Amino acid sequence: MRSAAKLSGTAVTESIDRAVGCLRQTFRTAPDAAGWYHYLDDPQPGITASAVGLFTFGLAGLRFERSAEVVSYLTGEQRLSPDGGHGGWPVRTTNGFPIGEATAWVLRALSRPGIALGSGDSVRLGIEWLRAQQNVDFGWGSYRGRPSRVFLTALNMLALHEAGAEGEALTNAQRWLIDVQNPQTPGWGPLPGTEPTVVHTSMALMALSRIPGALSTNTMRQTAEWLLERVEPGVHVERSTTVEEYDVPFDDAGTPAVFQNSLPHFAGPLALSAICATGVVNPLQPKVFNLVTGILDTQLESGCWELPRSPMRPSVWAVWPFVSALSAVRGAVLSTPRSRADLLYPGCAIIQSEDQPQDLTRQLLIRNAFFDWLRSKWLTLVLWVVALLTTGIPAVLLATGRFSMKDFLTALILPILLMVFQYAWDHRRPPARPRGNP
């Protein structure tokens, strides 16, 4: 059955531009701070949100004009260890206590090409901080000693990889992720032994796909297909992972305190990014195209998408996953940001410039179908032409009295023989394989 799914590079690019335009409009500065907060209408920038905002521009392949201010703010907020050998980043509510959730995002932002000029020392110290916080089981929690979580382990792996920190920490984390994969399905849950979710499977797959040989091609394909089967166009969250919440105890100037962490998750866009990241599942599928359409159709006028628990407030967490997904599909499917893909059937699409006439696809299909039919049926066509001529001429002669019935029946011998030959040719058996071959 033919599919009518289409993907417009112009629409995708305009959606990405609106999203980063939202970030440009909500950029905030304060004394010694520049960037964004989780809620984009908050006037006071935060460390993690500023890193995520800067990272989003990199995903879109765009340069933020005030990135130097954000980098200066982020590097100035790094908290060094007493010996100065490493340093992580806190969030606003941990009062200077560094945690992995912030450090990983800052590293990802500072590691984007062309963004972090002059921040080499901060990146190096951040890498060492993440390495020092790896648990003895080789996963990561918010800091060393906190329970290892799949999302944080995958996030830290991505941060280390993007920062160029290959080595033992990544290799060990790879083993931990593979060991905690659900034994019944090719997926991951938030913690070892929990039911798999789209969000955590997507993050684990993205992290492991960056490491050559971490997963076999067949395993990556099975996991990507598992994700594709569970996501629905226009439905961006899964009920069990709309928000991932857990407590993070920390030391607040000698006083025990608890930070109640709350991570909003968008399962659909993350799955789409992971599917494209593996490169083992053909993105030319109706569902992939429909997932993109679902993202485009649900974008708000502000440029971001709706945050489930706070639908009236724009959030940086409701921007970056969608820009990631749209950029990933644009890179995997479209030849240029302004091209169009017309899906013929799964695995096959015509990709052309959107400046071309709208009926070009139809013309190509008609012409190619005609020539394909001629190439495959040329012998049949020749035989039928000969049969029609050798039948039609005697029939005309018979009708005009120049042929007797006996002559007419004799003339039909050749067309009948040609039809028998054509039938036998079309139904001939394929040559037998030699014995011993599979």
Mean pLDDT computed over every residue of the chain: 88
Residue that wins the pLDDT comparison between 65 and 408 = 65
CATH match for 6-343 among 3.30.2130.10, 1.10.3720.10, 1.50.10.20, 3.40.50.2000: 1.50.10.20
pLDDT at 61: 93
Average pLDDT over residues 408-418: 70
What's the whole-number mean pLDDT along residues 47-71? 95
Q: Which 3 state secondary structure label does DSSP give 352?
A: strand
Q: Where are the beta strands (DSSP E) in 181-275?
A: 243-252, 255-264
Provide the pLDDT for residue 165: 92
**Residue 431 above 60 pLDDT?**
no
| Three-point CA angle 201, 246, 267, nearest 5° | 30
Distance of CA 178 to the CA centre of its chain: 21
pLDDT 10s digits, 107-129: 999 998 876 555 789 999 999 99
Question: Left (φ > 0), alpha (ψ -120 to 50) or beta: where does 145 sit?
Answer: left
Q: How far apart are CA 261 and CA 109, in angstroms?
A: 21
For residue 424, pLDDT beyond 80? no
pLDDT at 3: 45
Rounded to whole angstroms, the Cα distance separating 32 from 427 reads 82
Q: What is the pTM of this model?
A: 0.82
Q: Is 203 exposed, middle or buried (0-12, 13-18, 19+ CB in 10 A)?
A: buried
The whole-number average pLDDT for the span 403-423 is 70
CA–CA dist 278, 332 (Å, integer): 11
Residue 356: its pLDDT value, please?
59
Give mean pLDDT, residues 24-37: 96
Domain boundaries in the chain?
Answer: 6-343, 360-426
* pLDDT reading at 25 higher than 80: yes
Residue 294: CB atoms within 10 A of its CB come to: 18
CA dihedral 105, 241, 289, 38 (to 10 degrees): -40
Residue-wise pLDDT tens digits, 344-400? 888 888 888 876 555 555 555 555 555 665 666 666 666 667 767 777 677 777 777
Q: How far is CA 392 from CA 396, 402, 407, in A?
A: 6, 14, 13
Q: Give the mean model confidence (pLDDT) for residues 34-63.
A: 96
**Residue 27: pLDDT band by 50, 70, 90 thresholds?**
very high
Q: 302, 295, 289, 197: which is closest to 242 by C-alpha?
A: 197
pLDDT-above-70 percentage for the chain: 85
Interhelix angle for 150-162 vs 120-132, to 10°? Answer: 150
